[in-house]
C-alpha cells in the first residue's frame, strides 16, 4: 500500500486525513520525533509517495533520498521551505493550502492593533495604579485611517473586520 507521510504534526487529530487517504488506498504515517530532526523526517518519508509539511525544508537532497515521492503539500500558504526548482526537476508536484489561517491571522492582526494602541504588554497584568494610561498621550483609533498593504486573502479579511471598527 503506498504511503503518505505527515512530517510536521501540530494538530490534535489526523483522523480526517487518515480516513481520507485510507479510503483511496494509501496508508498514513505521522512523524512523532523531534521537531528539528531533518534526518529522521527524511527517513520516515523515504518510501512515501506524498508528504504533508508545515515548516520542514525540502530540497534536492531530500527529494533524492525519497525516490518514490510524487507530491508535497504544505499545510499553509507560500512555498518558502520548498525548493520548487528541485521538485520540478524531479517531476514532484507541489501544492499549498490556499486560505490557510486567513481568519486566525486577521483576528490576531486586529488584536495587535488594539494592543499597540492601548499599550498592552504581552503577559502583563493591569497597569498600576489601575486606570492610569500607559502613555502620556494616548493614541485613539477614532477617526483614524487603517492602512493595509496588500489586499490578498488575509489583508481582505483584516479590511472586512476593521471596516466597522474605525
- Model confidence pLDDT, tens digit, residues 3-45: 999 999 888 999 999 999 999 999 999 999 999 999 999 999 9
Whether the pTM exceeds 0.85: the reply is no
Taking only the tens place, the pLDDT of each residue in 47-76 is 999 999 999 999 999 999 999 999 999 998
Buried/exposed 26-36: b ≥16 CB within 10 Å, e otherwise? bebbbbeeeee
- Write down the pLDDT at residue 41: 97
pLDDT above 70 (res 124): no
Amino acid at each position: 500500500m503506498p504511503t503518505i507521510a505527515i512530517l510536521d504534526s501540530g494538530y490534535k487529530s489526523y483522523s480526517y486525513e487518515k480516513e481520507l487517504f485510507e479510503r483511496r488506498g494509501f496508508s498514513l504515517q505521522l512523524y512523532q520525533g523531534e521537531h528539528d530532526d531533518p534526518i529522521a523526517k527524511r527517513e520516515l518519508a523515504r518510501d512515501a509517495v506524498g508528504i504533508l509539511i508545515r515548516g520542514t525544508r525540502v530540497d534536492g537532497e531530500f527529494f533524492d533520498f525519497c525516490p518514490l515521492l510524487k507530491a508535497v503539500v504544505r499545510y499553509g500558504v507560500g512555498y518558502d521551505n520548498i525548493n520548487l526548482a528541485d521538485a520540478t526537476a524531479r517531476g514532484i508536484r507541489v501544492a499549498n493550502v490556499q486560505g490557510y489561517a486567513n481568519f486566525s491571522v486577521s483576528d490576531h492582526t486586529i488584536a495587535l492593533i488594539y494592543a499597540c494602541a492601548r499599550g498592552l504588554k504581552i503577559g502583563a497584568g493591569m497597569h498600576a495604579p489601575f486606570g492610569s494610561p500607559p502613555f502620556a498621550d494616548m493614541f485613539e483609533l477614532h477617526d483614524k485611517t487603517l492602512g493595509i498593504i496588500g489586499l490578498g486573502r488575509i489583508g481582505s479579511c483584516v479590511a472586512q473586520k476593521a471596516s466597522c471598527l474605525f
